[in-house]
Amino acid sequence: MENSRVDLSYLETFSGGDKILIAEMMERFVLDAPSQLSSVEDSIDQEDWKSAYKNLHNFKSTLNFIAIQEIKDQVLVMEKIAKEETSVSTLKEKYKILFNECKLLVEEIKETLSQ
Amino acid sequence: MNSPELKIFALEDNAVFSKMLHYILSMDDDHDVKMFINGRDLLYALDENPSVITVDYSLPDMTGEEVILKIKAKLPQVPIIVISGQNDIQTAVSLFKLGVYDYITKEEDIRERLLNALNKIKTKQSLEEEVQTLRQELSNKYEFDNSIIGNSTPMKKVFQMLHKTKNNNITVSITGETGTGKEVIAKAIHYNSNRKNKPFVAVNIAAIPTSLLESELFGHEKGSFTGAIAKRVGKFEEANGGTIFLDEIGEMDINLQAKLLRVIQEREVVRIGGNKVLKLDVRIITATHRDLSLRMNEKLFREDLYYRLLGLPIHLPPLRERENDVILIAKFLADQFTKANGMQKLTFTKEAKEKLLNYHFPGNIRELKAIVELSAVMCDHDIISDTDIQFSSSQDINTLLNKDLTLKEYTFEIIRSFMDRYHDNVATVAKKLDIGKVTIYRYLKEMDTNS
């Protein structure tokens, strides 16, 4: 079985183990993540570095309490590229990886919620 | 101490984190939480007077710094907690310089840190409210009509003068015998002025050795003289913005008077051994039981300082000149004593009142207080009768000793007192004082000649 992309430890600590809240937050992530990712993609496509940085920074907060460290690190790297305005192509490549990872993450959360 | 309700404004643009933040902040029933997703909406709502604001450092419409500066400009006292996605020390330091209360990163321990910060703010605000309440109580306590009792003709004049001190910063000089309530009057002036929320600092010049007084008044820097092991803030600096009360000003050493004059003229002070000039905004109230004009004639008080300090002179009459005030004050003091000791309210018999009215109270209100308190303890059935009122002779002695007399003059006073007590019987007086009759006759002759 493939390794899980979900890490609820932050959320557990944050909520004090409140199961209802954890479920609500997972639902919230499923709803919000696609639009946030879409905003990131748009800003990268338009080569709008400032917006890219802001959107990635914002998405980092969303991912922070639900995703494993590897995905968070991926966003952190992208945020740095956007801030330093180094390479659009690298950013685009990394976005594709992030998008796929997040897609799988959302599916996994959906599955958890349906159980 | 009750925890006050905390009105929290939280600015967080990330919808998911915002939900989490709302959850944490709302855990306490005393928290009234309002969430904002952009800086503009938050700034618009500042009129609602939040008690604390949390700010996400990265915002869509403006920078965190911009929001903080705008909040500080409008609500400088409201604590701001910055919640940031990045653990950046430089940012944190610059934010603290802007006056931010706390900087919390979105780490796993955020819940604990945030609640901890809010609890600290609640404790601080609770203490501030308590201080405000106490200040108000103090202010009410020292309302002229609450703190000064009396409707005698000389006191009506005092009240008139006190009202003249209200809406200005004029220097006030209070004179009156020991025990007439000079400090109470000084406090009343302060707490009825627009300086009432600032410090009232009282300094008894007579109680501080001359060698220490300069440092006490003006402060000193560490190492400025032997024994100055630490920096000391002087009383003038301590009273800045408020009032300094210089009691027994007539006792001040002539050399120090020159330094005091300079401070008063320049409205600035330099600590002993220091270079920094500290600007002063202090109202000065002085008091003395002496006649300062006489001290001035004797070259014991500087003329220039005398006129600087004279300002609005208020003379407090001795209790013996205050007609029926003695009874009003006695009743007030009895009520105060019974309240403080959980006793029944006391009343005075007609004879007791007459006894009080016929006494000359050399120790003034201070003496009356001691007499009333003793009678409150001695009386039966909540009624103070004339037999419960005892005038202590030791108070006469204290009054006598408070006078500035020569040894010979003291001796005359003693002889005179004993002669009165023993109905001019020289033999008895000589026996009581353990001296020869000839000596008594000699003193009487001298006294006669002097008078």
| pLDDT tens digits, one per residue of A56-65 | 988 888 888 8
Q: Which DSSP state fits B220?
A: B
Q: Which two tokens stand for residue A23?
A: 């479920």
CATH architecture of B405-450: Orthogonal Bundle (1.10)
In order along its 451 residues, chain B shows pLDDT tens digits of: 454 578 999 999 888 888 888 988 988 888 999 999 889 999 999 999 999 999 988 776 788 889 999 999 999 999 999 988 776 778 788 888 888 999 988 777 788 888 899 999 988 888 888 888 888 777 777 777 777 888 899 999 999 999 999 889 999 999 998 889 999 999 999 999 999 889 999 999 999 888 889 999 999 888 777 777 788 889 999 999 999 999 999 999 999 999 999 999 999 999 988 888 999 999 999 999 888 888 888 888 999 999 999 999 999 999 988 888 999 999 999 999 999 998 889 999 999 999 898 888 888 999 999 999 999 988 888 899 988 888 865 545 555 666 677 888 888 888 887 887 677 888 888 888 888 888 889 888 888 887 6
Name the helix (H) or strand (E) containing B216.
helix B210-218
Give CA–CA dist B258/B444, Å, rounded: 45
Q: Which two tokens stand for residue B401?
A: 């000793």
B151 interface with A at CB cutoff 8 Å:
no
Question: Considering only CB atoms, which chain A residues are within 8 Å of B60?
Answer: 54
Give CA–CA dist B76/B113, Å, rounded: 23
Domains of chain A, first to last: 9-114 (1.20.120)
* ipTM value for the complex: 0.78
In order along its 115 residues, chain A shows pLDDT tens digits of: 467 888 888 888 878 888 888 888 889 889 889 999 999 999 999 999 989 988 898 888 888 888 888 898 999 999 999 988 888 899 999 999 999 999 999 999 998 888 8
Q: Does B17 contact A61 at a Cβ distance shorter than 8 Å?
A: yes
Does the domain made of B319-395 have the CATH classification 1.10.8.60?
Answer: yes
Give CA–CA dist B284/B270, Å, rounded: 18
DSSP-based three-state secondary structure for B233: coil
- In chain B, which segments carry CATH 3.40.50.2300? 6-135
Does the domain made of B6-135 have the CATH classification 3.40.50.2300?
Answer: yes
Q: Residue with structure tokens 């003193």? A: B443
| Cβ atoms B263, B236 nearer than 8 A | yes
- In chain B, which segments carry CATH 1.10.10? 405-450
pLDDT value of position B328: 93
Task: Using CA coordinates, name the residue in chain A closest to B115.
Answer: A14
Mutate which: B16, B37, B56, B57, vs A, most A CBs within 10 A:
B16
A83 interface with B at CB cutoff 8 Å:
no
Task: Using CA coordinates, name the residue in chain A closest to B112.
Answer: A14
| Nearest C-alpha neighbor of A40 from the set A58, A64, A67 | A58
| pLDDT tens digits, B145-182 | 777 888 899 999 999 999 999 889 999 999 998 889 99
Give CA–CA dist B51/B76, Å, rounded: 11
Of B17, B23, B24, nearest to A62 by CB-CB distance is B17
B380 φ/ψ angles, rounded to the nearest 5 degrees: -115, 155
Does the domain made of B147-316 have the CATH classification 3.90.220.20?
Answer: no
- Other C-beta atoms closer than 10 Å to the C-beta of A61 total 24
From B14's Cα to the closest Cα of chain A, the distance in A is 6
Question: Considering only CB atoms, which chain B residues are within 8 Å of A24?
Answer: 19
With 0-12 / 13-18 / 19 or more C-beta atoms within 10 angstroms meaning exposed / middle / buried, residue A71 is buried
Name the helix (H) or strand (E) containing B445.
helix B437-450
| pLDDT tens digits, B37-61 | 889 999 999 999 999 999 988 776 7
- In chain B, which segments carry CATH 3.40.50.300? 147-316
pLDDT value of position B451: 65
Q: What angle do CA A87, A90, A93 make, to 5 degrees?
A: 150
